[in-house]
Amino acid sequence: MPLKVVTAGESHGPGLTTIVEGLPAGLELDQEAIDGDMARRQLGHGRGGRMKIEKDSAQVTAGVRHGRTMGGPIALQVANRDYKNWEERMNPWPVEADVPEVHLPRPGHADLAGVQKFGFTDVRNVLERASARETAARVAGGALAKAFLTALGVSVVSHVTQIGSVRAPELEAEPALDAFAGVDASPVRCLDADATKAMVGEINVLRKRNESIGGIFEVRAYGLVPGLGSHVSWEQRLDGVIAGALLSIQAAKGVGLGDGFDLAGRPGSEAHDEIFYSEERGYYRETNRSGGLEGGMTTGEPLVARVAMKPIPTLTKPLRSVDIATKEPAQALRERTDSCVVPAAGVVGEAMLAIVLAGAYRDKFGGDHIDDVRAAVEAYCTRIGWKPRS
């Protein structure tokens, strides 16, 4: 059974809930590791006032006993500290106060299509759920997927490669996992010190101009076995599943796997990864242009995905819009907002990739207890002569 992660909750409602279904029993979980990811998602230069209010923690309320999973659905709860400021506007039950409706849809947000689709007169009924506050719940679920992957020797990391017009230098041919150790110490989660400075400067300059800023993050997974996913049918192709999961992140607009869009302009001899074999290493590649995916399956090389994020839609100098009550021209809703969220989105990208990869391991190896899964992975590695890599 694949891993299922469902989230519920509105941005300014009482809180968020995540249900994770499909993890094996016996998996050790760690509150610090879960909350470590929750805190990492709140990082990054360019975030707005909301991050000063929230201090996210995901509390387990079902499916775990004495630090280990029991094989049933796991429930996690994340409180919205800001709810105390929104109790009248966001109360699940009717209130006496007259709560004004929002009528000014923001270009680039879910506002207009959402009210049209559901027949609402109040944009708030859309924006509350469309808000990327929901990514806190994804990261909570992703932390459990990461715990499962860690038990199988798989690590998922991310870093920022571009903010606005500033690009970090290309990474060396294939960086080792420990190259990412210090990335969270950078205010923009970038590996390069000079690029970091320039990125922070870019955010400051654009923010002063009432602009918002996009960029690119890269997410990587190390220690995968070859053969996750499948070439046999379209919905099992892991490249498609990964791209879909990453594109589902709010404001994500493009995904490149491996060398991605650059491959389109190269001759074939410079686009693929030649195959080698030695007794010591088994099959291996000297390049990783494919980003660890061929034919919809993992190759066992590091999995590399890049995600392009558009600039945030809410602008401090709003774009033109229409009042949906009067149909008169108006300025879009102007409210508290982030100006750049690429560093935070990288952590969400880790969660989404971890959820997909954990599901792929569940699909391929089954098992009721984590020891069953480990044994199945080991048996498979023995059959194909694969030596685990990090």
- Annotated binding residues for FMN, as ranges? 129-131, 250-251, 295, 310-314, 336
Of these partners, ligand EPS, ligand FMN, none, which one is at the site of residue 102 (CB under 5 to 8 Å by kind)? none
Query: How would you label 344-378 residue by residue, b for 16+ Cβ within 10 Å and e otherwise?
Result: bbbbbbbbbbbbbbbbbbbbbbebeebeebbebbe
- Binder among 20, 166, 341, 356 for ligand FMN (CB under 6 A): 341
Which segments are annotated as binding site for NADP(+)?
A: 41, 47
200 binds ligand FMN (CB under 6 A): no
Residues 350 and 103: their CA atoms lie apart, in Å, by 35
Query: What is the torsional sign of CA 225, 230, 234, 235?
Result: negative
340 binds ligand FMN (CB under 6 A): no
Q: Which is nearer to ligand EPS, 266 or 336 (CB)?
A: 336
Q: Which is nearer to ligand EPS, 290 or 339 (CB)?
A: 339
Residues 206 and 223: their CA atoms lie apart, in Å, by 39
302-321 residues near ligand FMN, rule: CB under 6 A: 310, 312-314
Of these partners, ligand EPS, ligand FMN, none, which one is at the site of residue 110 (CB under 5 to 8 Å by kind)? ligand FMN
Q: Which is nearer to ligand FMN, 132 or 324 (CB)?
A: 132
Residues 218 and 160: their CA atoms lie apart, in Å, by 6
Q: Which is nearer to ligand EPS, 136 or 255 (CB)?
A: 136
- Binder among 12, 40, 45, 109 for ligand FMN (CB under 6 A): 109
221-280 residues near ligand FMN, rule: CB under 6 A: 249-251
Q: Which is nearer to ligand FMN, 202 or 338 (CB)?
A: 338
Residues 186 and 194: their CA atoms lie apart, in Å, by 11
Of these partners, ligand FMN, ligand EPS, none, which one is at the site of residue 249 (CB under 5 to 8 Å by kind)? ligand FMN
Kindly give, in sequence order, each residue whose CB lies less than 8 Å from that of residue 373, ignoring residues fewer than 6 positions away.
24, 151, 152, 361, 362, 365, 366, 367
End-to-end Cα separation, the chain, in angstroms: 26
Of these partners, ligand FMN, ligand EPS, none, which one is at the site of residue 345 (CB under 5 to 8 Å by kind)? ligand FMN
Residues 362 and 158: their CA atoms lie apart, in Å, by 23
Q: Which residues bind ligand EPS (CB under 6 A)?
A: 11, 48, 50, 54, 131-133, 135-136, 250, 335-338
Q: For the CB of residue 47, give the shortest distance to ligand FMN in the complex, in Å.
A: 8
Q: For the CB of residue 47, give the shortest distance to ligand EPS in the complex, in Å.
A: 7
Stretch that binds ligand FMN, among 103-111, 178-186, 298-306, 373-381 (CB under 6 A): 103-111
Helix, strand counts (H, E) of the chain: 10, 17
Which segments are annotated as binding site?
A: 41, 47, 129-131, 250-251, 295, 310-314, 336
Report the chain's C-alpha Rg in angstroms. Answer: 22
Asked if 331 and 104 count as a contact pair (C-beta separation under 8 A), the reply is yes
Q: Which is nearer to ligand FMN, 108 or 175 (CB)?
A: 108
Query: How would you label 287-320 residue by residue, b for 16+ Cβ within 10 Å and e otherwise?
Result: ebbbbbbbebbbbbbbbbbbbbbebbbbbbebee
48 binds ligand FMN (CB under 6 A): yes
Residues 179 and 348: their CA atoms lie apart, in Å, by 20
Q: Which is nearer to ligand FMN, 152 or 307 (CB)?
A: 307
Residues 372 and 351: their CA atoms lie apart, in Å, by 24
203 binds ligand FMN (CB under 6 A): no
| Residue ranges that bind ligand FMN, judged by CB under 6 A | 48, 108-110, 130-132, 135, 249-251, 310, 312-314, 337-338, 341, 344-345, 348
